[in-house]
Amino acid sequence: MAGDLFLSTPLLLPLVLNLIGPVLAHEHHGADLTEEQLHAPVDAVLWIHIALQAIVWGFIFPVGMVLGLTRSRWHVPVQSLAFALTFGGIVLGHAHGGRQFPSSVHSHIGSWILVPIFAQLGLGIYLKLHIHERTLRPYAVRAHGILGRIWPILGWVQGLFGVITLRGFCGEVGAGQCAAHYLMGSGFIAYGMILALLLVVGDNWVRRSGRSPEWWDSWVIMLWGIVNTFTEHHGGEWSVKDMQHTILGLLWWAGGALGIFMSRNNQRNVVPGVIIILTGWAMSDHVQALMLSTKVHSMFGYSLMLAGFARVLEVCFIPLPSSPLSERPPLDDNDSEHTLAPSAPKDTGVAAKLNGVRAFRHLPPFLLVASGLLFMSATDEELEAAHEEGIDHVTYVLSMYSIAFLFYLLTVFLLHLYSTSGRNASSAQQPNVVFSAEGIELSDTDASKWYTPLSREEGTSAAAHVLGEDEDD
């Protein structure tokens, strides 16, 4: 089936080019639009464009990417469908009537995004031909994989600029605030998704890396803090917000450096969680001009503080229960998604504790995703628009949390799909298999000192050994 689709793709290319040609030649509107065109109602064609591109870039392309990572036979059909639909969406985006929009970043990216689209399509066709096996093909495989992995990022960026264009936000006055909120909010969302990958299915990858999760966290926090320290004040008098944002940058790089040092030798530490808590506290007391804005910022801060507390609890009090491999039954659909280790026997206390560990490890990533969405939705322009519509802070915050649930649903669905599709489908039913971010078929033979706590006997023996060494010195 996949082969038939790809063999038919070259026959479809002329048709696609005929459809896309007018789009490439289409001149984006500038300042010549009338007030009537700028404020006309959004027509049905544009709404179809928005819905279609949201489905394609937000769901179908990520699913196709995961199926490609697992070498599933459904990778080519899904991506072929996504390519066809996105071409249709691009055409609709230029064919709509009703409201018209001036030239924007969204419109320019919409043209340039055709470059990686055609590159990925061309590489896929080339790889399907199975030629130049020892010369060019290995490089094409790597390029195809890199392009496929950046697809969700391209979709997120283009979708974000699409919302900005539709709502008319982030003009000359609000551009700086938009950049700060959208960059940091996107950072929190990405942080939550990566943390879900590491804590929920990435146990073996982290073990092989030789670094604890907090080592990775601390580097990101420190580097972001350095950037934030020197980009929040743009000359002139220092405002209260300038000082608060700059001191947060100092907090992050100082705390990040401490976290890196404390993470040496694979040790876990609570510094990243403490930094998240302090950042949340600062945001919860970040007074704004509108009461609605103050309330939303407060809820963002509380969510971030709760994420930090959950992370501290995860590090300090949520150890990984250990059980012999011989006691572990085959994995089923309830166990194969998001497991740090295979199940212990169903009728033991160890199994209950393991289920609790699995459940709790979802809390910090989800709260980070929710915090990111709340922060992205807290710009002055967005909240002024909500205030004018008569929306109160309870409705607004719960709306953002509803979107956060959908985002995290997509995240855990993709993790589940990775664990149960393609080359991992047969492994999902085999015993003694630990699911990880890279190699699914990895047995749990190495004890990790940052996941497995010492027993009392081991701890007493180790302490006596250290004391003995001190006496010898």
| Segment 79-121, tens digit of pLDDT | 999 999 999 988 888 887 778 887 788 888 888 888 999 999 9
Whether this model's pTM surpasses 0.75: yes
Helical segments of 318-392, H only? 333-336, 349-360, 363-376, 380-388
Residue 174: per-residue pLDDT? 76
pLDDT at 228: 80
Burial of 348 (0-12, 13-18, 19+ CB in 10 A): middle
pLDDT per residue as tens digits for the range 394-405: 999 999 999 999
Mean pLDDT of 133-153: 90
pLDDT, tens digit, 9 for 90 and up, residues 79-89: 999 999 999 98
Of 444, 423, 440, 422, which is closest to residue 432 (Cα–Cα)? 444
In this predicted structure, what is the pLDDT of residue 349? Answer: 63
Q: pLDDT digit string (tens) for 179-234? A: 888 888 998 999 899 888 887 777 777 777 778 888 888 998 898 888 888 776 66
Q: How far apart are the two ends of the chain, measured CA to CA in Å?
A: 72
**Residue 339 in contact with residue 444, Cβ under 8 Å?**
no
Where is 408: in which H helix or E strand?
helix 393-420
Mean pLDDT computed over every residue of the chain: 77
Does domain 1-168 correspond to CATH entry 1.20.120? yes
Q: Answer yes or no: is pLDDT of 278 > 60.
A: yes
Using an 8 Å Cβ cutoff, are 210 and 266 in contact?
Answer: yes
Tokens of 26: 């289409």
Note the pLDDT tens digit of each residue in 40-83.
788 888 899 999 999 999 999 999 999 999 989 999 999 999 99
How many angstroms separate the CA atoms of 262 and 199, rounded?
Answer: 19
How far lies 195's CA from each of 188, 279, 283, 451, in Å? 10, 18, 22, 16
The pLDDT tens digits of the residues spanning 221-274 come to 898 888 888 776 667 777 777 788 788 889 999 999 999 999 988 888 999 999
Nearest to 273 by CA among 305, 250, 249, 243: 305
Each residue's pLDDT tens digit, 433-467: 334 333 333 333 343 443 333 344 444 444 444 34
Domain residue ranges of the chain, discontinuous segments joined by +: 1-168, 177-454
What confidence category does residue 39 fall into, taking pLDDT thresholds of 50, 70 and 90? low
Alpha helices, DSSP H, located in 197-239:
203-209, 213-229
- Average pLDDT of span 284-295: 81
What was the pLDDT predicted at 357?
75
pLDDT for 209: 77
pLDDT at 127 over 60: yes
pLDDT 10s digits, 328-371: 444 444 443 333 344 444 555 666 666 777 788 899 999 999 99
Give pLDDT, residue 317.
84
Dig out the tokens for 97 from the structure: 């009537």
